[in-house]
Amino acid sequence: MDCKSLNYGGFVSPSTVDWPGRSVSVVFFRGCSLNCFYCHNKHICHGIDERSIDEIKSRIEENSILTSGVVFSGGECTDQSWALKTLCLWAKDMGYAVGIHTSGTSPSVIYDLIRRKCVDFVSLDLKSTWDLYPEVIGQNRASVVPWIRESLRGLTLAYETQDLKEFRVAYTVYNTDLTGLVRSQVEPIVPFVVQEKR
Spatial distance between the Cα atoms of 86 and 109, rounded to a whole number of angstroms:
12
Determine the Cα angle at 31 with ends 92 and 145, to 5°: 90
CA 163 to chain centre: 17
Contact between 129 and ligand SF4 (CB under 6 A)?
no
Phi, psi (degrees; rounded to nearest 5) at 116: -85, 0
C-beta closer to ligand SF4: residue 90 or 100: 100
C-beta closer to ligand SF4: residue 76 or 92: 76
Residue 136 Cβ vs ligand SF4, minimum distance, rounded to whole Å: 8
Interface residue with ligand SF4 among 39, 126, 155, 169 (CB under 6 A) is 39
Interface residue with ligand SF4 among 7, 13, 30, 74 (CB under 6 A) is 74
Question: 31, 7 in Cβ contact below 8 A?
Answer: yes
Piece in contact with ligand SF4 (CB under 6 A), picked from 11-19, 35-43, 81-89, 144-152 = 35-43
Residue 69 β-bridge partners = 24, 97
What does the binding site for ligand SF4 look like in residue numbers (CB under 6 A)? 32, 34-36, 39, 41, 45, 74-76, 103
